[in-house]
Structure 1
Amino acid sequence: MTRSTTDEAAVPPLPSPKERRRLREAKSLSEEEVAAAVGVTRATVRSWETGRTSPRGRKRALYAKLIAPEPAVKPEVVKPPVVTAEAAAEVAGPVAAVPAAPDLPEASPLPEAPPAAPPADPPPPPVSDTRSGAEAADERRVTPAEAFDELYARTAPGLVRQTYLLTGRRTLARESVERAFELAWQRWPEVAVDRDPAGWVRAAAYEYAMSPWHRLRRTHRHPDAPPTEPGKRALFDALLDLPPAYRRTLLLYDGVGLDLPEIAAETEASTPAAAGRLMTARAAVAERFPELADAAPAEQSALLQDRLGGLARAEHVPVPRPARAVRTGSENKARLWTRAAVAGVALLIAVTGLTLHTAPTHYEPPISPPGRVGGVPPRGGPQKLTAQDLKLQKSLSEQLAHGPERLVPQLE
């Protein structure tokens, strides 16, 4: 058994992804603080909390220790003191020396039992149970439209900027993001239960933006004008010079902050292939920036992340439409395609019925074309005689008819 397997077995099982986020927020920890403490990126912490990935090895132990809930302190129950007979006698001694009134009964040598302590209040329910119940109630009250609008407002503006860095076309970036969200609303039952709905929409937007069919459109045939600042323009040109797959891998790793396994899953490639694309893309960009070529891999990633973020924030990209308009457009498109499909099926049925009604019920063999039999021209109606036909006609008219006399005409 390897060391990593032993460490994972020693670490207690982690809670559910939603519980991980709740525990982090209960301790007032941000994603950046948890990432710095564990030694990973912020996107990795977000993927742990969404359930797309899980920590392993030493990072798993650090993460589990960091978000572990604090043990609840139970209130101490104060028990009443036990009064023995000797102690009761010592306490009652001075009191017994006082003469009792004649009309009262003789006082008992033992004092009355002390009043019982009030019952301890039941311990409050754990915070986790209360919060989880409240969150479950909130989730039950959220409608699909509200959940979609929240996802759209949280991810659409940044996704438009990412798509602009991927394509270099502002209008295409906005169109791709809106098209991806329209597709997500059409498949919302599937997207809502996905481990990372934002990743689902991002993959759909990237696939639509990188389609080669956009080259046939006049508006998207050429990229937009590059930035005016020399540094941002050089980075913009370096990105567009990369192949689409390499550009996407570099943007997902240094721009979005995903890990190589996540990038490999999103781009439908193997992890070694994603790593090779990343190294090649970094080397191509570093050729134009000497400070990137001399930096360490970690510093190089940080510098690229800052430069990509600065380029995306500096450029003016169109603001996407409101979420309500996107949902309405998606519903209208779905309704239009449904009506078109119904109309096509009805037209096909009508054409099939007309064909069956007008088709012949039996087979009629075709009439063969006429041909010459024994040198006699076929019957074809009045037509121009050929030289052979004229020669035959002349020979027939010059010869005498042979046969019985009664059939031969005689001149009188």
Structure 2
Amino acid sequence: MKNPTPPPGTPAGTGQRPEPHRSTVRTRLTPAQAFDTLYAFCAPALVRQTYLLCGRRELARESVEQAFQLAWQRWPEVAVDRDPASWVRAAAHEYALSPWHRFRPRFRHPEPPPADAADRALLAVLLTLPPSYRRTLLLYDGVGLDLPETAAETEASTPATAHRLLHAREALAAALPQLADPAALHTRLAEVASAERLRAARPTAVRAGSERRARFWTRAAIAFTVAIIGATALTLRTAPTRYDPPVPPGKTVRGVPPEAAPGALSKKQTALRRKLRSNPASGPEKLLPETR
């Protein structure tokens, strides 16, 4: 009788599976736990970075919350991304730089600037840069990404990203000569961002808001679909079953004399009418004409 084939992974000459090594045993996190871990790791710093990008505290917090709500809705995609933090940062920066915020009533008036004069000067110069230059400068000199990573996150080519970075540095150095050194600029950006007390919401609140938004849009899509189906059914029910050609417009008929309007009576007609009215006929003479 032959020995049974050992299960896969069992060394030859043994009759049982080996014990797994301690280093290969990993604790699997639930999606909510993995999301909360990413949020706790990225959200506080991302709020400060976004503040340097847009110059508004409330908009920075809102941008980060919107980015993480979108990440929770697409968590199967974000969880397997090569760099989930970069995915969320790109979403937050794009939301913060959206030009539609200028039409919102709450963002028509500027927020109070930083308390320190040097911080106000740096933030004012940053906000004068074009959004693409500002974002490139923040990612390269603030976050510390290299040039290809900055180009990939801003969806631009590497030469275009280098061009934006050089022009942003030149504009910043012209206004603030003490920040011409990239190391000094990196330190000042970190100091300005850390000086503001910007707090992110709790991850549970962000997940709950994302789920509420998903339910709202799902119900809205269902209601819109039902409305379209109802309108289509009503159209099919009330639509005509045959084609009735339209009545052609009227045409002028030539050769027909115009209708004559009644004119004034002649003298003979007037005398006859007066005679008939003064001598009304009565009796059989009214019905029988006189013979002559």
Task: State the TM bucket, normalised to the shorter chain.
Answer: 0.7 to 0.9
| SS state at 2:227 partner | helix
Question: Post-superposition shift, 1:321?
Answer: 1.6
The structure number with the bigger radius of gyration is 1
Q: 1:308 aligns with which of 189, 203, 211?
A: 189
Structure 1: 5+ residue runs without aligned partners? 1-124, 294-299, 378-387, 395-409
1:238 aligns with 2:130: no
3-state SS, counterpart of residue 105 of structure 2: coil
Q: What residue in structure 2 maps to residue 152 of structure 1?
A: 39
Corresponding residue of 1:85: none
2:169 maps to which residue? 282
Q: Distance in 2 between matches of 1:376 and 1:350?
A: 54
Q: TM-score by structure 1 length? A: 0.57
Identical amino acids, percent of aligned pairs: 61
Residue pair 1:163, 1:205 contacting (<8 A) in 2 also: yes
Q: Does 1:130 align with 2:10?
A: no
Specify whether residues 374 and 261 from structure 1 end up closer, same or farther in structure 2 by C-alpha distance, changes over 3 A only.
closer
Shift of 1:363: 1.4
Q: CA deviation at 1:390?
A: 3.8
Give, in angstroms, the shift of residue 342 of structure 1: 1.2
Match among 170, 178, 181 for residue 68 of structure 2:
181
1:207 aligns to 2:101 (yes or no): no
Offset of residue 411 of structure 1: 9.5
Looking at structure 1, the residues matched to 135 and 249 of structure 2 have their Cα atoms a distance apart, in angstroms, of: 69
Distance 1:170 1:227 in 2: 11
Shift of 1:277: 1.0
- In terms of mean alpha carbon deviation, does 362-371 or 278-287 score higher? 362-371
Moved more, 335-344 or 184-193: 335-344
Q: Does 1:353 align with 2:230?
A: no
Amino acid at match of 2:76: P
Q: With a CA cutoff of 8 Å and minimum separation of 6, indicate the structure with the bigger relative contact order.
A: 2
Comparing 342-351 and 239-248, the one that deviates more: 342-351
Q: How far apart are 1:291 and its partner, in Å?
A: 2.4
- The alignment partner of 1:219 has SS state of helix
CA distance in 2, matches of 1:291, 1:182: 39
Letter paired with 1:212? P
TM-score (normalised: structure 2): 0.79
* Structure 2 CA distance for aligned equivalents of residues 366 and 244 of structure 1: 59
Corresponding residue for residue 373 of structure 1: 253
Q: CA deviation at 1:350?
A: 1.0
1:365 deviates by: 2.3
Residue 113 of structure 2: aligned partner: 226
CA contact (8 A) 1:167 1:223 kept: no
Change (3 A) 1:195 1:223: farther
What are the superposed Cα offsets for residues 285-310 of structure 1, whole Å, 9 maximum, x if unpaired? 111222234xxxxxx12101110011
CA contact (8 A) 1:161 1:312 kept: yes
Deviates more, 1:335-344 or 1:362-371: 362-371
Superposed CA deviations along residues 172-231 of structure 1, whole A, max 9, x for unmatched, are: 111110000000001101100111111100000001111111111121234422223221
In the superposition, relative to structure 1, how do residues 365 and 325 fare at CA in structure 2: closer, same or farther (>3 Å)?
same
RMSD of Structure 2 on Structure 1 (CA): 2.4
Cα deviation digits, residues 106-138 of structure 1 (max 9, x gap) = xxxxxxxxxxxxxxxxxxx9xxx633x13xx21
Partner of 2:212: 332
Deviations 1:244-289 (A, max 9, x none): 0000011001110000000000001111111111111111111122
Aligned partners of 1:253 and 1:260 also within 8 Å: yes
In the other structure, the counterpart of 1:165 is 52
